[in-house]
Amino acid sequence: MRRLLAKNLLSRPLTEAPPAADEASLKELAASVTRAARRRLGRSLAIREVDAGSCNGCELEIHALNNAFYDLERFGLRFVASPRHADVLLVTGPVTKNMRQALERTYRATPDPKWVVAVGDCALNGGLFAGSYAVVGGVGDVIPVDLHIRGCPPTPEQLLKGLLALLEGQRRPAVRS
């Protein structure tokens, strides 16, 4: 183990330079999040992930954000265990009817101000599962959504761009729609 640790200390870090914040995301956020809310959230965001019906593909890529290449925590973004500790809900999946109540309760348990980021094509509008007897639809059909990150699943880089827009948006003056 010592050999591995020493080798890691002496080799170059794998962590890559961050991508630029996604412009489309910035626009979407500017319309939905007030400047006051941004100021209060500061530069550090606690994220609570909620799977509201996904196939678990999005979860795999969200997990990848924690690996050495993307190292999400260097931006002050970290995943927390409870909605009560969270600023951001990262919600995946078409919302199934069986998960609707749990999602609503999780949203209510998250203190204000809060943001909701819907991750994946299913979270936008139900994706391939839209129209099923067991599916409500996209996340926006159940709780208010501030930002959508598309993809099936979105790559860690796409996720990072969207999440960086959350931080970036706080530094730029808000454009009210």
Of 110 and 170, CB closest to other proteins: 110
| Residue 165: other Cβ atoms inside 10 A | 25
Task: Output the smallest distance, CB 111 to other proteins, in A.
Answer: 16
CA neighbor of 119 nearest in space, from 145, 87, 85: 145
Determine the Cα–Cα distance for residues 33 and 41; give it in Å rounded to an integer.
Answer: 11
CA distances to 20, 108, 131 from 155, in Å:
15, 29, 26
Task: Output the smallest distance, CB 135 to other proteins, in A.
Answer: 6
Binding site for other proteins (CB under 8 A): 1, 3-5, 14, 49-64, 66-69, 79, 81-83, 93-94, 96-102, 106, 128-129, 131-135, 152-153, 155
Task: Output the smallest distance, CB 74 to other proteins, in A.
Answer: 14
Of 128 and 175, CB closest to other proteins: 128
Of 71 and 168, CB closest to other proteins: 71
Task: Output the smallest distance, CB 42 to other proteins, in A.
Answer: 23
Determine the Cα–Cα distance for residues 156 and 105; give it in Å rounded to an integer.
Answer: 28
Task: Output the smallest distance, CB 85 to other proteins, in A.
Answer: 11
Contact present, 107 and 89 (Cβ < 8 Å)? yes
Of 2 and 171, CB closest to other proteins: 2
Of 2 and 176, CB closest to other proteins: 2
